[in-house]
Amino acid sequence: MIYWKSFQHQGNEFSLEHLHPKIWLYEQAATDTKPAIPYRIRVIYSLHCFTVMRDETKPKLDYSDDREVRTFCFDRYEWSKLLNEVIENLDEGHVYHTGRQNFLRIRSTSGSEYEVFFTLMKSKEKGVDLQLYVQSAYLRTRGSSPKAGKIRFSVIAYNTKANKPIKVHKR
């Protein structure tokens, strides 16, 4: 697991502790016919949540992991402070299937759309049910979001844990 190091720039420190891996205790609400279902979900964040494609003209903003070098983005960094709240509220409303292997949650804030792309899979870690990997998160500045169909997070979590396929209804 990756614990992001703080970014240093012009004498300022930008802590990334809010993007360290964590366990989210999620509970699918009970219904009239089914009891509540508790989940232990490991949440992991990609460096794409606070960086952009590398800009070689700005080497002082380079940030890397063991796979790639990207450019630290101050806007994405500020928005990333909302990620824990966005993740912990995935059960409210819908998420969208992108038509690929991942899902999308859109949070509208002050006329802006903050898009959070993630995958969910069974965890191999003892005592953890699922692993949620936040692949990227950013403000949509052009074009439209890749939304193939709405789905509730509780359905994704249940089906993933039960090894069932996730059926997405087309919009």
What are 25-72's pLDDT values in tens digits?
999 999 999 999 999 999 999 999 999 999 999 999 999 998 999 999
Position with higher pLDDT, 4 vs 111: 4
Place of tokens 């059960």: 91
* Spatial CA neighbour of 115 closest among 136, 94, 101: 136
Instruction: Tell me the domain boundaries of the chain.
Output: 20-25+33-161
pLDDT at 161: 96
User: What does pTM read for this prediction?
Assistant: 0.92
- What percentage of residues in the chain have a pLDDT greater than 90? 77
The three-point CA angle 145-149-155 to 5° equals: 120
Per DSSP, the three-state class of 16 is coil
Whether 146 and 140 have beta carbons less than 8 Å apart is answered as no
